[in-house]
Amino acid sequence: MGPRPQLRRKFLLLAAVLSLFSTTGGSKQDPWQLWSSFSSHFIDPASGRVFDPAGDQHTTSEGQAYALFFALAAHDRATFDRVISWTQANLAAGDLATHLPAWRWGKAADGKWKILDSNSASDADVWTAYSLIEAGRLWRVPADATLGDALLALIAKSEVANLPGFGPMLLPGSSGFQHGNVTTLNPSYLPLFLFERFAAVDPSGPWNVIASGIPRLLDQSARHGFAMDWVEYVPGDGFSPVADPAAQGSGPSNSAAPCGSYDAIRVYLWAGMMNSSDPQRPAILNSVGGMAAYLAAHNAPPEKINDQGIPSEQPGPIGFSAAVIPYLRALPGSSRAAATQTIRLSAQRNPGSGLYGNDAAYYDQCLCLFSTGFSTGKFRFGRAGELIVNVN
């Protein structure tokens, strides 16, 4: 009787890993099936517009940026070109070299499809610039790299601010995030490997200093080892959690109280995807170690964690489990927790649609694409933040 529970756990882990690899394309020869399913459900095949089927079919610059990265990782040049063309034409006044993309586009009250909010979203902007720069290198298309460099210069000009007593840092957008001496920031907008890559391609920019500040920001802003969605910086007082600036919005991430939820879950994902030889990796993983401790005794990440570090009883959606798998695999002693999340993820794959979760939510699929693409070796990030891909 004694060994059987241990053997059963090993069997479940093996089954979950095999399921993950078989359903997401675990070998160099297999197509990336989740990317194919995502493309067919969320990207207009003619225009390259990424839309959220839930609600009003709107488009965000984040959706365009993520699709651009996934198309690059999947070596899907045709989709890459359509996505960047639509983004440039509809969100950036026809030229990403001179206009940061507007963050939201959709059907307005007058019935016309157009920009609904012209402010930029810097998380989308850095992923777009990164994907263009890396497409130029990997596909040997100088025009892509040139456009990425130009967008990077716009980001440095419009979305970077110097925090007194701390240093330069990426703002969440070009306007609305600085009020007097108070600056609002979003930790999930700061994947360290992107800024390490920017520092390599643009040594004269603020990127290296930003990169060196990201571990400090996470260490000082994570409460009880949990990342927060939004934080504010006050010189002399440091960082403290704040409510979502768009708390009146309709999206699932909008919270009227400070918490770690739909935005912050990406902090664990980015930490887990860092190159294992990056000297900053241990500090970043340690700063958000509360999630690993929680998952050692629970079957799913919580949907929300308040600013006192107290998790909600409501489990997060399936994308949350996907997001923490690379993070848990990067932490010694968390293999059982990683197996539990892998089993939960595998159990919620719909074989008909190829997507995850009962409602196949757009955001969940993005988190699953990052997680499973990384876990199955579709892509990695090098020591200097460069993208490494398996080309089919």
Residues with a known catalytic role: 62, 123
Enumerate the H helices of the chain as residue ranges.
4-24, 33-42, 61-73, 77-91, 122-138, 142-158, 192-201, 207-221, 265-273, 281-287, 290-295, 318-329, 335-347, 362-375
Buried b (16+ CB within 10 A) or exposed e, 330-356: bbeebeebbbbbbbbbbebbeeeebbb
CA separation for the pair 310, 305 (Å, rounded): 5
Separation CA 124–CA 105 (nearest Å): 14
Distance from C-alpha of 24 to C-alpha of 12, rounded to nearest angstrom: 18
Q: Are strands 379-381 and 305-306 parallel, antiparallel or unpaired?
A: unpaired
66 Cβ partners below 8 Å, 6+ apart?
A: 50, 127, 366, 369
